[in-house]
Structure 1
Amino acid sequence: MLRTIILGVISLWLVTSIVRQPDGAFQAALQGLSVWWNIVFPGLLPFLVLSELMLAFGVVHALSSLLDPVMRRGAGMPGIAAWPVVLGWTAGYTAGAEATASLRKQQAISRREGQWLLAVSYMPNPMFMFIVIGAGFFHHPYLGAFIALAVWLSGIVNGVLLRLMPFGSAAQDDRSNKAEPKSRSTLQKAGIALMQGHREDGRSFGKVLGDSVSAGIQKLMLVGGFIIFSALLARLIAASLPDSLSILAFTGIYESHLGAYSASLLQSELGLATCIALISAVLCWGGLSGLLQVRSVISESDLKFLPFLLAKLLHALLAFGLTLLLWEPFHNWLQHSASGFHEEAFSTPFDNGLTLLPFPISVHDLPSLWQHIPTVIGILGASMMVLVIISYFVWIFGKRPGK
C-alpha cells in the first residue's frame, strides 16, 4: 500500500514538472534519445546479434566446455559461467546480466554464482570508453585507455572481494550438474557440447539471424526507454532542487553516458585527476537507467537486486580510489611518452562553472559510434569465422568415441 502511494506521488510530480517546463523536458528527452541512438544502439547491437548466433549454433556450449577446467580452478564455477563475463565486458552493461539470468533460469549455475556473475559482468562498453570518452570527450585516446584500465582492474578487485562475501546460501548449490564420462578428452567434450547445443536449438542460419536482429532491436528499444526516462528525471530533479542539493541532480547518478559527459566538463573545478576518477566511478555505477534494466532482466529469476546494487556501489568506490592511485605514474608516463599531451587542451567551451547537468548543449555535441560500425562488424565477422573453424575441428574430434 505504501509503495503504491509513493509511486503515485512520484508519477504526479513527474507529470506536473513536465507540464511546468515542457521545453526543458523535451530537451532532456532529446538528449537521452541522442545518447541511445548515437552511442548505445551501434555499440551494443552487433554484440547482441553475435551472442544469439553463438548460442544457437552451440559455440557458447563448446567454449564453456573448454573453459570448464579453468573456471573451476580459478573461480570455483562451471565453464559456462565465463560466457556472461566475456559478453558483459565486451558488449557492456545489461548483456552480461541477461546471460546470467538465462543461465540461472536453466539452473546451469547456482544462485550464489549467479549473484557474483551479475555483479562482475555488469561493465561499460569498451567502445564507449576508448572512442567516445577518450577520443570524443577528451580528444586523447590514451585517457580513454586509462579509464578502461581503471574500470577493469577495479572490476577484478571487486570480483575477488565479492567471492569472500556471502551471496546467497554458501551451503546450498541448486545448480543442475550433469555428469560426463571422465574418459573423454577436453576436445571431445567440447565437440559433444557443440552438437548438443545446436541440436537443442534446431533453427537454420537464416532463422537464427532474423530472430537475433529482431530480439536485439527489441532489447535496445527497452534500453532506450530507460535512458530517456533517466535523462528526463535528472533534468526535472535539477529544476526542483535548491542549489545546496544540486549534487543530487548529477546525471551520473541516473545515466552513465550523460554522466560521463557531465563529469568531463568539471576539469577546471575538480582537476583532471579527480575528473577522470569521477568518470570511472560513474561508469562502474552504471546509473539508475542501467540498474533498472538489470532489475527488469532478473525479475523472472530468483536473483536479488539489493546485493547487486551494493556490489556496484563498491565497484564505483574502488574505481574512484584506484584511478587516483594510478593517476600519478600514468600522468608522468604520458607527459614523457605521448606526443601532443597538454592538460589545457582538454578544456571545453562548456566550462562555465560547476555544471552538474550538460545543459544547454546540442545533440550533435555527443560523439557517434555509427562511423565505427563497419570496423566493428569486420572484427566480429572475422571472430565469428575463427570460431566457426575452431568449432568445426572441435566437432570432428567430438565425433570420435571415447576410449
Structure 2
Amino acid sequence: MLKSQLKSIMLAIGALAFAICLITMPTETLAASKRGVDIWSNTVFPSLLPFFITGEILIGFGVVHFIGVLFEPIMRPIFNVPGVGSFVWAMGMASGYPAGAKFTARMRQEGQLTQVEAERLVAFTNASNPLFIIAAVSVGFFQSPTLGVLLTVSHYGSNLLVGIVMRFYKANYISMYRKDAQQNIWKRAFKTLHHTRIKSNKPFGKLFGDAVIHSVQTLLMIGGFIIFFSVFSSILIEIGLADIGSQLIETIFLRFNIPEKLALPFFTGIFEITLGAQQISGYINEPMIAKAILVSLLLAFNGFSVQAQVASILAETDIRYMPYLLGRILQGIFSAGIVIIASPYLMALSPKPIGHAIAVEAPLQSSYWFSLLYQAGPIITLVGLSSAFILCALRQLK
C-alpha cells in the first residue's frame, strides 16, 4: 500500500514538474515540438504508411499465412518461431521501427503466434531501416558511405545474433509446431491462403479502408511519442539534468577509452536517436571508431522514444516488454563488437579513411532519397490523414 502511494506521489510530482517546465520554457519546448512534428510529418509518416497499409492487406488476403507455411522449416530451427516470423522480420527491416513490434502484435492477435513465440520475435524484428542508417546517419550526418556499410553490417548482423540467442528463451516451452509441416508444403500453403481469405470475408474496399484507418491511428500514436520525447530531451538539456547524466556516462567511457566529449550527445541519443547521432557527428576531431561504436549502440538500443512506442503497441496484447528490452541490450553488445571487429577491414577497403568524415549542418538535405522524401512527405502525410478522416466520416454516416 505504501509503495503504491509513493508511486502515485512520484508520478504526480513528475507530471507537475514537466508542466512547469513547459510553461517556463515556451521557446525551447516549441522549437523541440516543431522538430518532432517535422521529423514525423516529413519522414516517419510517409515512409511507414505504405508499409503499414500493405502489411495489413497482405494479412487480410492470407499472403502472410502463405509465407508462414513456406518459411516454417527455416524460421523454426534457427529462431524457434513460426514461418510468419519471416514476414515480420522482413517488414521490420524494410520499414524500420516500430513496424516489427506492430506486426508481431498483429500476428499475436491473429493467433499465428503464441505469447512466448511473439516475445522471441519482437526481441529481434524491431530494427532500423537501411535508408535511415545509410542515407541519413552515414551519408547525411557523417558524409561517409563506408560508415554506412559498417553500421548496416553491425546492425543487421547483431539483429541476427539476437534472434539466434532468443530462440533459447523459455526453451522448455511446448509450441504448436507440427512435425509433418514439411509434407506437401506448397499445397498446404495455398490451402492456408485460401482458407484465410474466405474466413476474413471482407471485400477489398472494406479491407483497404480498415488498413488505412488502423495504419493512420498507429502513426498518430508514434507521432505523439516522437514529439513528446523531442520536448523531453530538450527540457533535460535546458535544466541541466543532461549534464548530470552525461557525467555518469563519462565514468563508463573512461574505462573503454572513449572520448569524454561524446558523453553528452550519447545521453541525448538515448532519448532521441536522430538528434544524438547528429550531435555525435559534429565532433570531427574525435576518432571515428569511437563515434561508430556509439551510433551503433544507439541504433541497437532504439532510444526511449521508440521503446515507448513499442511498449504502447505491446500493451494491446499479452506480449511482455522485458524480452524486447533484453533484446535491445544484447543487440547493443553484439553491434559494438561487430563494429570493433569489422572496422579495420572496411577502413582498409575505403578509398578515403573513415576517420576523415566531415559533419554537415543540414544532413537530411544532402541525401537524394531523403531530399525527395522531404519534398513529397508532407503531401503523403496530408493525403493519408485526409483519407482516414473521410473513411471514418463515411462509416459514421452509414
TM (normalized to structure 1)?
Answer: 0.79
Give the partner amino acid of 2:215. Answer: G
In structure 1, how many angstroms separate the alpha carbons of the residues matched to 2:312 and 2:353? 43
1:155-202 Cα deviation digits (max 9, x unpaired): 1122222334x44xx4343x556x798796211111111111211222
Give 2:275's match in structure 1, choosing from 248, 258, 275: 258
Runs of 5+ consecutive residues of structure 2 not aligned to the other structure: 247-262, 378-398
CA contact (8 A) 1:154 1:322 kept: yes
SS in 2 for 1:109: coil
Aligned length: 355
Give the partner amino acid of 1:35. Answer: I
In structure 2, how many angstroms separate the alpha carbons of the residues matched to 1:254 and 1:206? 40
Q: Does 1:45 align with 2:49?
A: yes
Q: Cα–Cα, structure 1 residues 132 and 273, in superposed 2: closer, same or farther, change >3 Å?
A: same
Q: Cα–Cα, structure 1 residues 254 and 186, in superposed 2: closer, same or farther, change >3 Å?
A: same
1:194-234 Cα deviation digits (max 9, x unpaired): 11121122222233223222222221111011011111111
1:12-40 Cα deviation digits (max 9, x unpaired): 11111112211111111111111212221
Give 2:7's match in structure 1, choosing from 3, 11, 17: 3
1:76-124 Cα deviation digits (max 9, x unpaired): 3321222221221111112111222222334432322221101111101
Give the partner amino acid of 1:216. Answer: S
1:282-302 Cα deviation digits (max 9, x unpaired): 111111111111111111322
Offset at 1:152?
0.5
| Correspondence for 2:251 | none
Question: 1:72-151 counterparts in 2 under 5 A?
Answer: 72-151=76-155
| Correspondence for 1:291 | 307
| Correspondence for 1:171 | 172
In structure 1, how many angstroms separate the alpha carbons of the residues matched to 2:96 and 2:144? 22
Q: Cα–Cα, structure 1 residues 314 and 252, in superposed 2: closer, same or farther, change >3 Å?
A: same
Offset at 1:323?
1.1
Q: Cα–Cα, structure 1 residues 368 and 233, in superposed 2: closer, same or farther, change >3 Å?
A: farther
Q: Higher mean Cα deviation, 307-316 or 186-195?
A: 307-316
Give the partner amino acid of 1:205. Answer: F
Offset at 1:128?
0.9
CA contact (8 A) 1:29 1:232 kept: yes
Give 1:326's match in structure 2, choosing from 309, 328, 342: 342
Give the partner amino acid of 1:275. Answer: K
Question: 1:354-373 counterparts in 2 under 5 A?
Answer: 369=370, 371-372=372-373
| Correspondence for 2:358 | 346
Offset at 1:146?
2.2
Question: 1:184-199 counterparts in 2 under 5 A?
Answer: 185-199=184-198
| Correspondence for 1:26 | 30
Give the partner amino acid of 1:266. Answer: Y
Q: Higher mean Cα deviation, 234-243 or 56-65?
A: 234-243
Q: Higher mean Cα deviation, 150-159 or 65-74?
A: 65-74
In structure 1, how many angstroms separate the alpha carbons of the residues matched to 2:50 and 2:181? 37
Question: 1:191-210 counterparts in 2 under 5 A?
Answer: 191-210=190-209
Offset at 1:127?
1.6
Give 2:58's match in structure 1, choosing from 54, 58, 68: 54
Runs of 5+ consecutive residues of structure 1 not aligned to the other structure: 350-360, 377-403
CA contact (8 A) 1:66 1:187 kept: yes
In structure 2, how many angstroms separate the alpha carbons of the residues matched to 1:218 and 1:311? 27
Q: Cα–Cα, structure 1 residues 244 and 43, in superposed 2: closer, same or farther, change >3 Å?
A: same
Give the partner amino acid of 1:215. Answer: H
Q: Cα–Cα, structure 1 residues 362 and 21, in superposed 2: closer, same or farther, change >3 Å?
A: farther
Q: Cα–Cα, structure 1 residues 22 and 334, in superposed 2: closer, same or farther, change >3 Å?
A: same
Offset at 1:255?
1.9
Q: Cα–Cα, structure 1 residues 116 and 183, in superposed 2: closer, same or farther, change >3 Å?
A: closer
| Correspondence for 1:223 | 222
SS in 1 for 2:147: helix
In structure 2, how many angstroms separate the alpha carbons of the residues matched to 1:16 and 1:372? 36
In structure 2, how many angstroms separate the alpha carbons of the residues matched to 1:200 and 1:181? 24
Offset at 1:238?
1.2
1:339-360 Cα deviation digits (max 9, x unpaired): x6675451335xxxxxxxxxxx
1:277-323 Cα deviation digits (max 9, x unpaired): 21111111111111111111111322221232122122112212221
Q: Cα–Cα, structure 1 residues 345 and 67, in superposed 2: closer, same or farther, change >3 Å?
A: closer
CA contact (8 A) 2:144 2:354 kept: no
In structure 2, how many angstroms separate the alpha carbons of the residues matched to 1:366 and 1:12? 41
Give the partner amino acid of 2:133. Answer: M
Q: Cα–Cα, structure 1 residues 56 and 275, in superposed 2: closer, same or farther, change >3 Å?
A: same
| Correspondence for 1:400 | none
Q: Does 1:66 align with 2:70?
A: yes
CA contact (8 A) 1:155 1:315 kept: yes
CA contact (8 A) 1:108 1:176 kept: no
CA contact (8 A) 1:158 1:315 kept: yes
1:262-286 Cα deviation digits (max 9, x unpaired): 22223423x2111122111111111
Q: Higher mean Cα deviation, 303-312 or 51-60?
A: 303-312
| Correspondence for 2:254 | none
